Structure 1
Amino acid sequence: MLSRTASDLYWMSRYLERAENLARMLDVSYSLSLMPQAGRGDGLDELAMPLLITGTLDEYLSRHGQLHAERMLFFFALDEDNQASIYRCLQAARTNAHAVRGRITADMWENINATWLDIRGIAEQGLGRYGISRFCEWVKERSHLFRGATFGTIMRSDAYRFIRLGTFIERADNTLRLLDARYEMLGEEADEMSDRTAHSYYQWSALLRALSSFEAFAEIYRGSPNARKVSEMLLLRPDVPRSLRSCVEELHLILAALPGENGRPAQRLAAELDARLRYTGITEILDEGLHAWLTDFILLVRQLARAIHSSYLEVV
């Protein structure tokens, strides 16, 4: 497969996964902002969380000057000038899909093209009239439909593998950043003995719901969510679809299945990360410091993404 084609497929799926992750992040931040806040009642600290996670706080402040709920929601949802907005992610995904129409199925193309047309209509209507929660649910639904069309219609060829690579690289990074952001926001409340406080309960529950893992948590653990339980599930459980270990296992298997010797650096790094998660316990992570461990692994996932790019996606 040509590097340019592989790159378009990879980034098409990364942008779609990113749009879904942004919608999840925005939905939970908006919901929590409506609750009474510690020290202030306007919920702006909670709504600023997506800006901090995505590193767009400075860009927002340079354009808007101060934190404002409606402007922040628009900035992340429909702002054409914000490269990190859901609107721009779906636009980029559609552009990449158009470039590889011959390598994806008609069902996949029709889904992603319809999604792009729909969001343009939503942008004309305005987020205030459409509703932020309804918008976030729509983004997640469109992403699920595309993933279903992909899984159900495309051949299990290299094209399928590069699509899946993009999905799991983006998902792993998102899980790490969301967990780190929630842990840092809770501060002393993140201690495992704080699971009885209402604020801690709603923060951890919101994170689990953002990653569609609340039901899985209730099935696996007893009692309220806390730092130890949530971190163990989202980092080390192979049977939780959005956990870090699940994503890294998929990346390892996909890279191992790609032909050729150019990908050995990426394959080796993925195997090392898979082994590290397989043989690490949550006590070791907490002893090291959860924030430090997450920061280190975010860099490792970024390193893996660079290795994938240099091995397969650079146009020679």
Structure 2
Amino acid sequence: MLSRTADHLFWMARYMERAENTARMLDVNYQTSLLPQSAAVAEQGWRGLLSISELSYDYQQRYGAIDPRKVKDFMVRDERNSSSILSCLRAARENARAVRGTLTTEVWETTNQTWLEFNRLIADGLLTRDPAALFEWVKFRSHLSRGVTVGTMLQDEAFNFIRIGSFLERADNTARLLDVKFHAVESDFHGAASERDSEYDFYHWSAILRSVSGFEIYRKVYRNVIQPEKVAELLILRPDMPRSLSHCISKVVGNLKLVANEQSAETLRRAGRLRCDLEYARIDEILSTGLHAYLTQFLDRVGDLGLGISRDFLVATP
């Protein structure tokens, strides 16, 4: 496969996944903002959302103080924000158009229609009128795109690069979400009495789980009250949790093996080592050494994997 074709497929998938992840975080933050809470707590939630995407500086330069309406505009439809949902869906569509002949008709039409329909919904004022409906629509369209890809495409190298892009982006997002949210709450993982209101804690951890479609899964796996260390275990180490770090990296490794070439041995080795580290890790060891340090190192390794994949398979990055 031509490296330029692989590059377009890889980034098409990453941008679609990024649009969904942004919609998920916005939706949970919006729903949480409707609960009774102080202005300081509400502002912290929106500030954390910008921090997850590393957009705090850009937002401050353009808008100044934190304002929920401005944050939503910035994250959803600001063309100057390369990580806004608008920018991600446009980039996904443009990458798909560049490799139109490699995709099935269903995949192309789904991606193209998502872009066109999103613009119509924004023009109709859905973001202002019913933000939750817009976020749910974006998530649904991403699910549809993924389902159409799995259900209609030949599972060849093109399919593998799409999957690599999706799971690498998802792993990055889950790690960022965990890092920012756990740091904000400053939970005590060692069982000491907490001064925080238990009801607030419940809604906070529930929101984190719902942002990765993990609330029902948590209840099924642990069958008890929501505990921070169990949330961390579910989203980091559970291989059967679709958005956990372990599951995502395992999928990246599996697809990398299928497209391996003469120069990708080192990238595959690093990906395999990361998968093994997750497979044999224990949550108590991770928490005792520091969750923030662990997730920071994980994000560095995922970034390194992305660079390795670009070097070995895709168009060279300047």
- Scaled to the shorter chain, the TM-score interval is over 0.9
Distance across 2 between alignment mates of 1:235 and 1:191: 18
**1:17, 1:143 within 8 Å by CA — same for their partners in 2?**
yes
Q: Give the deviation of 1:126 after TM superposition.
A: 2.3
Question: Structure 2: which amino acid aligns with 1:198?
Answer: E
Unaligned runs of 5+ in 1: none
CA change 1:285–1:41 in 2 (3 A) is: closer
Unaligned runs of 5+ in 2: none
SS of residue paired to 1:101: coil
**1:200, 1:226 within 8 Å by CA — same for their partners in 2?**
no
**1:236, 1:244 within 8 Å by CA — same for their partners in 2?**
yes
Question: Structure 1: which amino acid aligns with 2:117?
Answer: D
Q: Which residue of 1 aligns with 2:107?
A: 108
Q: Which residue of 2 aligns with 1:283?
A: 284
Distance across 2 between alignment mates of 1:288 and 1:48: 26
Distance across 2 between alignment mates of 1:25 and 1:153: 29
Could you state the TM-score of these two structures normalised by the residue count of structure 1? 0.95
Distance across 2 between alignment mates of 1:41 and 1:182: 15
Distance across 2 between alignment mates of 1:242 and 1:85: 21
Distance across 2 between alignment mates of 1:315 and 1:299: 20
Question: Structure 1: which amino acid aligns with 2:166?
Answer: T
Number of aligned residue pairs: give it: 315
Distance across 2 between alignment mates of 1:95 and 1:257: 26
CA change 1:105–1:128 in 2 (3 A) is: closer
Q: Give the deviation of 1:190 after TM superposition.
A: 6.2
Q: Which residue of 2 aligns with 1:163?
A: 162
Q: Which residue of 2 aligns with 1:30?
A: 30
CA change 1:179–1:191 in 2 (3 A) is: farther
**1:192, 1:227 within 8 Å by CA — same for their partners in 2?**
no
Listed as ranges, the matches of 1:231-246 within 5 Å are 231-246=232-247
**1:238, 1:246 within 8 Å by CA — same for their partners in 2?**
yes
Q: Which residue of 1 aligns with 2:214?
A: 213
Question: How far does the alpha carbon of each residue in 1:57-86 deviate from its partner, in whole angstroms, 9 at most, with x for none?
Answer: 111111112111111111111111211100
Distance across 2 between alignment mates of 1:169 and 1:290: 20
Could you state the TM-score of these two structures normalised by the residue count of structure 2? 0.95
Question: How far does the alpha carbon of each residue in 1:27-76 deviate from its partner, in whole angstroms, 9 at most, with x for none?
Answer: 11111122233x53672221222211111111111111211111111111
CA change 1:128–1:315 in 2 (3 A) is: closer
RMSD: 1.7
Listed as ranges, the matches of 1:82-121 within 5 Å are 82-121=81-120
Listed as ranges, the matches of 1:1-316 within 5 Å are 1-37=1-37, 40=39, 43-188=42-187, 194=194, 197-315=198-316
Q: Give the deviation of 1:142 after TM superposition.
A: 0.2
Q: Give the deviation of 1:247 after TM superposition.
A: 0.4
Distance across 2 between alignment mates of 1:100 and 1:143: 19
Aligned residues with identical type, % of pairs:
43
